[in-house]
Amino acid sequence: MEKHRMYWRLIELILDVASSNLLGVLETTINETYLSGLYANIKIGDTGGFFIVGSDGRVISDADRSKLYQNINSEPYFKKIINIESFRGVVTIDG
């Protein structure tokens, strides 16, 4: 059994397109264990994998529980993608 459970709380404002007036707020809470279970079996190449990192460099979702909360902001691959507004692709790490 896990010692800590992590949840993501996502909040999005709903605005009127024409006037930009606030119409409402959408809120959802997602269990990190559920989320990481969705991608736990994704493999990229022979050794690659998938994880989610926050803008501060902290790992916030990983199927490998030992990597949760680690800060990777000093890693070269993190520096490559952090300033990109939208990123899709593969970053090669150590190879």
Kindly report, residue by residue over 8-63, the tens digit of the pLDDT.
Answer: 888 999 999 999 999 999 999 988 888 888 888 888 888 777 888 887 889 989 88
Residue 9 contacts residue 27 (beta carbons within 8 Å): yes
**Does 62 reside within a domain?**
yes
Q: What integer is the mean pLDDT of 73-86?
A: 74
Task: Using DSSP, state whether 53 is helix, strand or coil.
Answer: strand
**Does 39 reside within a domain?**
yes
Cα 69 to Cα 94: distance, rounded to the nearest angstrom: 21
Q: Which residue has 């493999």 as its token pair?
A: 43
**Does 90 reside within a domain?**
no
**Does 94 reside within a domain?**
no
Cα 35 to Cα 14: distance, rounded to the nearest angstrom: 24
Q: What is the pLDDT of residues 83-95, one digit of tens each?
A: 666 556 666 656 5
Cα 59 to Cα 40: distance, rounded to the nearest angstrom: 15
User: In which domain, by residue range, is 73 found?
Assistant: 7-81
Task: Using DSSP, state whether 79 is helix, strand or coil.
Answer: helix
**Does 13 reside within a domain?**
yes
Count of domains for the chain: 1
